[in-house]
């Protein structure tokens, strides 16, 4: 037995983050909050997401449950609700049901054993930059206009986001000097490139985030960590790089 109440806005952010990689996910409900880890079908990116029980209007989970949720169906439900409406979610051992005002919707669950939960790898990254998410957003959106790949470059005193179009004269470059960061850990020069469609979808899903932490290595995966829902949740995103080897 499980019963939680959550406002539509929080539910939307939760489902938007997961849907950047997969339409279905195994979600663990524990007495202190909910946890999920997902990996995209191409095994290129991974998301780990936690939401503390404080983010919920009501949270009663007696025993730990792992449920396979259809995120697409949750999103359909959200289309019917205003941002501040409360969604009353129940699991009775068989199906999951959502109550929204006087609307009741129940969905079958997906067998969680068919959904793989990835192990989050231990990846040591030499550099870390903590800054305002809007800078990253601008850099990525500028790059999207001309390219499919964006490059992150860390130097002793700056973090650079740049992209190159089809010709050498078509470029975008956003520089975040050390002085404009909250935290700047530099160990060695690093440069890695990433597929923009993964990055932009993820960054756009973070509606309640102000500050973001980006860890970069040299031709190595990037780790982006952010606090969501006013500190009541956190998300970590890992993305494998593009390597030029043609």
Partner 1 sequence: MNFDDIANIPAALCVRCKGNKLLCGKNSCPIVTKYYASANLILDTRSISGSSPPSIFVGSFGYPKVRIGPAVPPVTGNTEIFERPDKWVGLKIEEISRMRFSLYRGYKLIPVKEAVSPGNYLSEVHDLLLSSRPVESSMLYSSPEKKLDISPETQPFGPGGYIRSFDHESSSSNSTIERMYYDTDIKASESVLLLYDSTSLYTIEKMLSAGMLGKEKGRRIVPTRWAITATDTIISNGIFSELKGAETVEANLFYHYRNIGNEYYILISPGPYSFEVIESWNNGSIWTGVRGSSTEGDYEDWKRFVREPKIGGSFFAAKLVILDHLKRKGKIGRIIVTRFIDGEYTIPLGVWQVRENIRKALQHEVVLEDIERYFSIVKERKALDVRQFSRTYRMIKNQTKLAEYGV
- Output DSSP code: residue 110: B
CB of residue 64 to partner 1, shortest distance in Å: 25
Which strand (E) or helix (H) includes residue 91?
Answer: strand 86-91
Please give the Cα distance from 199 to 237 (Å, whole number).
Answer: 9
* Interface region with partner 1, contact rule CB under 8 A, candidates 28-36, 86-94, 118-126, 224-232: 118-126
- Output DSSP code: residue 13: H
CB of residue 168 to partner 1, shortest distance in Å: 16
Strand partners, 234: 50, 227
In 3D space, the residue among 55, 24, 47, 21 whose CA is nearest the CA of residue 208 turns out to be 55
* 198 touching partner 1, by CB under 8 A: yes
Q: How many residues form the binding site for partner 1 (CB under 8 A)?
A: 32
Residues 6+ apart with CB under 8 A from 246: none
* 68 touching partner 1, by CB under 8 A: no
φ and ψ of 175, to 5 deg: -110, 130
DSSP string, 217-229: -SSS-EEEEEEET
Subset of 135-164 contacting partner 1 (CB under 8 A): 148
H-state helical runs in the chain: 8-19, 71-78, 133-144, 196-205
CB of residue 23 to partner 1, shortest distance in Å: 7
Of the candidates 123, 156, 189, 207, which one interacts with partner 1 according to CB under 8 A?
123
Q: Which is nearer to partner 1, 54 or 148 (CB)?
A: 148
CB of residue 111 to partner 1, shortest distance in Å: 11
* 170 touching partner 1, by CB under 8 A: no
Subset of 5-64 contacting partner 1 (CB under 8 A): 20, 23-24, 39-46
Q: Which two tokens stand for residue 7?
A: 């406002």
Subset of 77-116 contacting partner 1 (CB under 8 A): 114
CB of residue 43 to partner 1, shortest distance in Å: 4
On whether the CB atoms of residues 153 and 162 are closer than 8 A, the answer is: yes
Q: Which is nearer to partner 1, 105 or 118 (CB)?
A: 118
Of the candidates 94, 119, 167, 168, which one interacts with partner 1 according to CB under 8 A?
119
Q: Which residues bind partner 1 (CB under 8 A)?
A: 20, 23-24, 39-46, 114, 118-119, 121-123, 148, 195, 197-198, 201, 220-221, 238, 240-246
């Amino acid at each position: 037995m499980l019963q939680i109440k959550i406002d539509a806005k929080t539910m939307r952010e939760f489902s938007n983050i997961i849907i950047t990689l997969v339409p279905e996910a195994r979600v663990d409900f524990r007495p202190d909050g909910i946890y999920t880890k997902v990996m995209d079908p191409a095994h290129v990116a991974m998301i780990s997401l936690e939401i503390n029980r404080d983010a919920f209007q009501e949270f009663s989970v007696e025993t730990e449950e792992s449920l396979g949720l259809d995120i697409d169906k949750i999103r359909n439900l959200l289309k019917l609700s205003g941002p501040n409406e409360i969604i009353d979610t129940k699991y009775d051992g068989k199906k999951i049901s959502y109550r929204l005002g006087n609307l009741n919707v129940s969905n079958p669950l997906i067998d969680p054993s068919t959904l793989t939960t990835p192990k989050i790898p231990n990846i040591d990254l030499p550099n870390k930059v903590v800054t305002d998410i809007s800078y990253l957003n601008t850099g990525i959106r500028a790059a999207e206009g001309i390219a499919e790949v964006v490059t992150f470059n860390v130097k002793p005193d700056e973090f650079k986001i740049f992209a190159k179009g089809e010709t050498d004269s078509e470029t975008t470059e956003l520089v975040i000097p050390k002085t404009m960061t909250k935290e700047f850990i530099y160990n060695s020069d690093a440069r890695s490139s990433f597929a923009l469609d993964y990055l932009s979808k993820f960054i756009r899903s973070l509606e309640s985030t102000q500050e973001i932490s980006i860890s970069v290595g040299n031709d190595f995966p990037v780790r982006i960590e952010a606090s969501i829902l006013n500190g009541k949740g956190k998300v970590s995103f890992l993305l494998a790089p593009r390597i030029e080897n043609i």
